[in-house]
């Protein structure tokens, strides 16, 4: 059910409040080197982590088992990354990749200038390294297609997803190189850690911060960087107040590495809910909770689902990708290719 907050943001989620642990003292100072650099690049670079531990069993919830190695993005897709997408693919925004609430809502991060046919998009102050929001499942699939197709003029309509199919059921094709995580891929990256490698007794944590204890609520400095980074911190439950908002998105790296999941992902609990490919009654599934959510929403036992066209201030996404070959294998392949090429060309010198 949609609710409207005093700040104008909307959410479709019921509040399930719970007690939070006492805030802890900050134990980590972020340095400038930790901040994302994507905002200054002309093209979008996604940082991925590899999720191995192939063939793990499901959690007691029935989720989390994945029989192959894959990559998942370390951070939620940011406004800086999405604005690059808009500037090349939404001069005429026939697919509604842009939502005016990205401008009108203080928690949105992107403005639109010009007229249809020559729209241009810019980042709002301090919003480049915040997760993009007001993006539907459709927008997220189109972003994945564009990434799959090498960005630039790459198509948004095919590649990972065939956009002529129903948004209520379409999933990525087998040849996709970039896609939205399946629910099991998302779940494993968020909650799994083998018991023999420091994980919980059943190898699944309750929260995506490698913990069974509800995270400390993040607080924010004046530019939206989490001001109490450290162990088991997440942006949820309206704790991150800045830019005159009661609860807001925060810089995606700023909870610090001590609050990441076992595989090194950030903000899988809180900041923004994240789309995954699962389907429930023609709706698409969200996981992880948001800046607005009570702690229960961050748990492994919690999932929500909303129509694929929904766009809210507390919903964004991250990407999955195929595993890259190990460096040693790449070198072997390159060496083999060079050797073959030299033989074919019969050249006596090195390439
Ligand atoms: Ca849209
Ligand atoms: Ca457990
Ligand atoms: Ca999140």
Ligand 1 centre and the CA of 92: distance in Å? Answer: 13
What digits encode the pLDDT tens for the residues 30-68?
333 334 443 333 389 999 999 999 999 999 999 999 999
Ligand 3 centre and the CA of 350: distance in Å? Answer: 49
Query: Helices 79-89 and 137-148 sit at what angle, rounded to 10 degrees?
Result: 80
Ligand 1 centre and the CA of 99: distance in Å? Answer: 5
pLDDT band at 323; cut points 50, 70, 90 = confident
CA angle 110, 113, 116 (to 5 degrees): 115
Ligand 1 centre and the CA of 311: distance in Å? Answer: 7
Question: Closest ligand to 312 CA?
Answer: 1
- Does residue 212 have a pLDDT over 80? yes
Neighbours of ion ligand 3 (CB under 5 A): 267, 271, 274, 288
Q: Whole-number mean pLDDT of the chain? A: 86
Q: Which pLDDT score, from 0 to 100, does residue 266 have?
A: 98
Ligand 2 centre and the CA of 201: distance in Å? Answer: 6
Q: Which pLDDT score, from 0 to 100, does residue 43 have?
A: 87
Ligand 3 centre and the CA of 275: distance in Å? Answer: 9
Q: What is the percent of the chain where pLDDT is above 70?
A: 80
What digits encode the pLDDT tens for the residues 187-208?
999 999 999 999 999 999 999 9
What digits encode the pLDDT tens for the residues 170-192?
999 999 999 999 999 999 999 99
One DSSP character per residue, 308-321 reads TT---TTEE---EE
Q: Do you know the residue count of the chain? A: 351
Q: Which position has the higher pLDDT, 331 or 225? A: 225
Residue/partner pairs of 162-166 with CB below 8 Å, 24 or more apart: 163/138
pLDDT band at 28; cut points 50, 70, 90 = very low
Q: Which pLDDT score, from 0 to 100, does residue 31 have?
A: 32
Question: Closest ligand to 201 CA?
Answer: 2
Q: What is the percent of the chain where pLDDT is above 90?
A: 79
Question: Closest ligand to 301 CA?
Answer: 2
What digits encode the pLDDT tens for the residues 235-270?
999 999 999 999 999 999 999 999 999 999 999 999
Ligand 2 centre and the CA of 32: distance in Å? Answer: 35
What digits encode the pLDDT tens for the residues 148-163?
999 999 999 999 999 9
Q: Which position has the higher pLDDT, 332 or 194? A: 194
Beta-carbon contacts of residue 253 (< 8 Å; ≥ 6 apart): 30, 34, 35, 36, 75, 129, 266
- Does residue 316 have a pLDDT over 70? yes
């Amino acid at each position: 059910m949609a609710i409207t907050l005093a700040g104008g943001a909307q959410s479709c989620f019921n509040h399930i409040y719970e007690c939070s642990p006492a805030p802890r003292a900050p134990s980590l100072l972020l340095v400038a080197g930790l901040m994302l650099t994507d905002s200054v690049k002309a093209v979008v670079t996604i940082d991925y982590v590899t999720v191995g531990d192939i063939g793990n069993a499901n959690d007691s919830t029935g989720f989390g088992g994945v029989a192959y190695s894959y990559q998942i993005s370390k951070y939620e897709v940011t406004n800086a990354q999405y604005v690059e997408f808009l500037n090349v693919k939404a001069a005429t925004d026939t697919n509604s990749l842009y939502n005016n609430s990205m401008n009108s809502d203080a928690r949105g991060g992107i403005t639109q200038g010009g007229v249809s046919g020559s729209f241009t998009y810019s980042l709002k102050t301090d919003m480049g390294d915040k997760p993009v929001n007001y993006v539907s499942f459709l927008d997220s699939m189109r972003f994945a297609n564009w990434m799959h197709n090498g960005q630039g003029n790459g198509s948004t309509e095919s590649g990972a997803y065939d956009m002529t199919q129903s948004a209520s059921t379409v999933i990525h094709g087998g040849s996709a190189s970039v896609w939205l995580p399946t629910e099991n891929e998302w779940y494993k990256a968020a909650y799994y850690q083998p018991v023999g490698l420091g994980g919980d007794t059943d190898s699944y944590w309750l929260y995506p911060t490698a913990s069974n204890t509800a995270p400390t609520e993040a607080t924010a400095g004046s530019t939206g960087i989490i001001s109490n980074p450290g162990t088991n911190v997440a942006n949820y439950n309206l704790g991150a107040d800045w830019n005159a908002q009661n609860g807001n998105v925060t810089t995606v790296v700023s909870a610090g590495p001590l609050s990441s999941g076992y595989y090194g992902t950030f903000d899988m609990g809180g900041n923004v809910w994240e789309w995954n490919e699962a389907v429930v009654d023609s709706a698409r599934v969200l996981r992880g909770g948001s800046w607005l959510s009570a702690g229960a929403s961050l748990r492994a036992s919690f999932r929500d689902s909303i129509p694929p066209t929904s766009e809210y201030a507390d919903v964004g996404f991250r990407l999955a990708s195929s595993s890259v070959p190990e460096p040693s294998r790449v070198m072997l392949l390159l060496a083999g290719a060079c050797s073959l090429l030299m033989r074919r060309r019969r050249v006596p010198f090195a390439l």
